[in-house]
């Protein structure tokens, strides 16, 4: 079968999740044997550059390294690059590729759709992540288009019958190798420009490393309060600009520090070295699951509390015990008092051990599912083969 070429369209609505998911998908697909050319169209290069520092904001077309993470990855990496197109109203539009992925219903330009008709491209709408039951029944369903184009909805998901989760080949092996080498952690912490006292506390003083990546309404002070009930000190790492209402510096036994944004590979490594990962949205949740460490999810809020139904569906699938579920429900309801009490219970030594074990085994279990990029490529290859018959 001939390799397939891809266009991926990404509109940054807000935050980093739209480009986070598309960049990860583009990088993974571009390294796969069944994929020929790949273009990633992005309307907001400034946001993209925060998670991929190689991106230049003034360029209409550029090729950037798919796996940068300066100094943190092994030397045996083959450099791979991805073609980035700045998607503006006047961007020149080449002929469409075999497969056109629009992320989160972002609407490719009308002239480009005409080119898709000429090419008979397969049109994929990559949907948002949800653990709700209905996802499997809607996944991969065709949607007939008046212009004759074949279009399908592709849903990521946690269960068989969905498109799966983004996970690079050998990610967990790489994670285990990284976690087994303490020197790598020290290199990463040094890159965050933390004071030596914090690095010592984390590397040799037994302090708990907490990553705090949440939306502004998370009861972050209650997290600090709960950690302060513990004998073990904590160092909380907060990506710059996140949770501006939380004072930086010492809060008794908890130290809160700003850290710079990392590229995605560096961010993964930060998750792999933290004891508790507070993550948000869509992509950082999945990466924290692959870290196999305790996590607190701050879900992206939606109208009419639709996000609480999504959160419950995900908690129902999870192997977590009651205090953890309760903590996550309160974290997402801005219920600081309820959150502190639940988290204190979840940090009790036996509950903490159970949380750690459940996190590690869920990660392993989810990794048995086919990953999203592999499922997507297989789906596209099959659809194209059927079309040719
Ligand atoms: O930034 P987010 O809140 O994005 C959100 C969600 O995706 C939400 O579902 C969506 O509707 C909305 O955007 C439009 O959280 P998320 O999804 O975790 O994306 C963050 C991305 O940023 C992820 O790819 C990880 C990356 N990242 C880095 O690469 N380096 C960093 O230092 C940090 C903090 C994040």
Q: What is the pLDDT of residue 387?
A: 78
Residue to probe by mutation, ligand 1, list 22, 55, 284, 372, most atoms within 8 Å of CB:
284
Residues 201 and 121 occupy one common structural domain: no
Residues 112 and 181 occupy one common structural domain: no
pLDDT confidence tier of residue 138, bands split at 50, 70 and 90: very high
Strand partners, 164: none
262 lines ligand 1 (CB under 6 A): yes
Residues 87 and 218 occupy one common structural domain: no
- Candidates 27, 33, 99, 11; CA nearest to 64 is 27
> If you take atom 25 of ligand 1, which residue's CA is the nearest one?
284
Q: What is the pLDDT of residue 69?
A: 62
Q: What is the pLDDT of residue 79?
A: 57
**214-269 confidence digits (pLDDT tens):** 999 999 999 999 999 999 999 999 999 999 999 999 999 999 999 999 999 999 99
**304-354 confidence digits (pLDDT tens):** 999 999 999 999 999 999 999 999 999 999 999 999 999 999 999 999 999
| Pair 318, 301: CB distance under 8 Å | no
> If you take atom 33 of ligand 1, which residue's CA is the nearest one?
261
Find the length of the chain.
389
**In the chain, what percentage of residues exceed pLDDT 90?**
93
Residues 295 and 317 occupy one common structural domain: yes
Q: What is the pLDDT of residue 70?
A: 55
213 lines ligand 1 (CB under 6 A): yes
Please name the helix (run of DSSP H) or strand (run of DSSP E) that holds residue 347, with its range, or none: helix 336-347
> If you take atom 19 of ligand 1, which residue's CA is the nearest one?
17
Residues 194 and 233 occupy one common structural domain: yes
- Candidates 190, 191, 276; CA nearest to 232 is 276
Q: What is the pLDDT of residue 136?
A: 96
Q: What is the pLDDT of residue 198?
A: 97
**Block residue for tokens 């796996």:** 67
Please name the helix (run of DSSP H) or strand (run of DSSP E) that holds residue 316, with its range, or none: helix 306-317
Residues 66 and 140 occupy one common structural domain: yes
- What is the separation, in whole angstroms, between the first and last Cα of the chain? 13
Q: What is the pLDDT of residue 365?
A: 98
Can you tell me the distance from the alpha carbon of 179 to that of 281, in angstroms, rounded to the nearest whole number? Answer: 25
CATH number of domain containing 83: 3.40.50
**7-48 confidence digits (pLDDT tens):** 999 999 999 999 999 999 999 999 999 999 999 999 999 999
Cα of 283 vs centre of ligand 1, distance in Å, is 6
Residues 75 and 178 occupy one common structural domain: no
Q: Which one of the listed residues 18, 198, 225, 283 is annotated catalytic?
A: 18
Q: Pairing relation of β-strands 150-154 and 122-126?
A: parallel
16 lines ligand 1 (CB under 6 A): yes
Q: What angle do CA 131, 137, 140 make, to 5 degrees?
A: 100
Q: Which domain holds residue 68?
A: 4-167+371-387
Please name the residues in contact with 177: beta carbons below 8 A apart, sequence gap of 6 or more.
Answer: none
CATH number of domain containing 212: 3.40.50.2000
Can you tell me the distance from the alpha carbon of 256 to that of 300, in angstroms, rounded to the nearest whole number? Answer: 23
Active-site residue, 344 included: no
Mean pLDDT of the residues in the chain: 95
Q: What is the pLDDT of residue 342?
A: 98
Cα 106 from chain centre: 19
**Block residue for tokens 């068989």:** 160
Residues 271-288 as b or e (16 or more Cβ within 10 Å = b): bbbbbbbbbbbbbbbbbb
Residues 131 and 198 occupy one common structural domain: no
Q: Which of 250-254, 297-301, 383-387 has the lowest mean pLDDT?
A: 383-387
Give the chain's domain count. Answer: 2
Residues 358 and 215 occupy one common structural domain: yes
DSSP character for 74?
-
Residues 232 and 363 occupy one common structural domain: yes
Q: What is the pLDDT of residue 85?
A: 98
Please name the helix (run of DSSP H) or strand (run of DSSP E) that holds residue 49, with its range, or none: helix 45-51
Residues 138 and 255 occupy one common structural domain: no
Active-site residue, 67 included: no
> If you take atom 22 of ligand 1, which residue's CA is the nearest one?
16
Residues 148 and 242 occupy one common structural domain: no
| Pair 265, 73: CB distance under 8 Å | yes
Q: Which one of the listed residues 127, 198, 282, 371 is annotated catalytic?
A: 282
Strand partners, 257: 237
| Pair 89, 41: CB distance under 8 Å | no
């Amino acid at each position: 079968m001939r390799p397939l070429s891809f266009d991926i369209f990404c509109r940054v609505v807000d935050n980093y999740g739209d480009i986070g998911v598309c960049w990860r998908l583009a990088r993974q697909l571009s390294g796969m044997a069944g994929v020929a050319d790949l273009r990633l169209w992005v309307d907001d290069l400034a946001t993209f550059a925060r998670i991929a520092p190689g991106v230049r904001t003034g360029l209409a077309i550029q090729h950037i390294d798919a796996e940068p993470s300066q100094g943190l990855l092994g030397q045996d990496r083959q450099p791979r690059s991805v073609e980035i197109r700045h998607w503006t109203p006047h961007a020149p539009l080449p002929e469409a590729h075999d497969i056109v992925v629009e992320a989160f219903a972002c609407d490719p330009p009308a002239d480009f759709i005409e080119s898709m008709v000429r090419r008979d491209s397969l049109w994929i709408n990559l949907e948002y992540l949800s653990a709700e039951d209905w996802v499997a029944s809607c996944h991969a369903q065709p949607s007939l288009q008046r212009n004759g184009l074949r279009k399908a909805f592709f849903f990521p998901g946690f269960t068989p019958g969905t498109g799966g989760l983004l996970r690079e080949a050998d990610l967990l092996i790489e994670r285990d190798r990284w976690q087994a080498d303490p020197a790598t952690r020290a290199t990463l912490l040094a890159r965050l420009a933390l004071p030596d006292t914090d690095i010592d506390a984390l590397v040799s003083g037994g302090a708990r490393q907490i990553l705090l990546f949440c939306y502004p309404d998370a009861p972050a002070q209650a997290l600090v309060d709960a950690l302060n009930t513990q004998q073990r000190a904590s160092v909380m790492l907060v990506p710059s600009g996140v949770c501006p209402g939380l004072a930086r510096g010492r809060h008794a036994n908890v130290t809160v520090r700003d850290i710079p944004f990392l590229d995605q590979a560096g961010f993964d490594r930060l998750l792999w070295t933290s004891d508790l990962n507070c993550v948000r949205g869509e992509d950082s949740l999945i990466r924290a699951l692959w870290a196999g460490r305790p996590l607190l999810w701050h879900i992206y809020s939606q109208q009419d509390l639709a996000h609480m139904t999504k959160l419950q569906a995900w908690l129902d699938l999870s192997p977590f015990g009651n205090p953890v579920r309760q903590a996550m429900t309160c974290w997402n309801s801005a219920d600081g008092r309820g959150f502190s009490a639940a988290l204190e219970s979840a940090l009790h030594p036996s509950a903490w051990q159970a949380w750690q074990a459940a996190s590690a085994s869920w990660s392993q279990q989810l990794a048995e599912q086919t990953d999203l990029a592999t499922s997507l490529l297989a789906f596209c290859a099959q659809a194209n083969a059927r079309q040719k018959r």
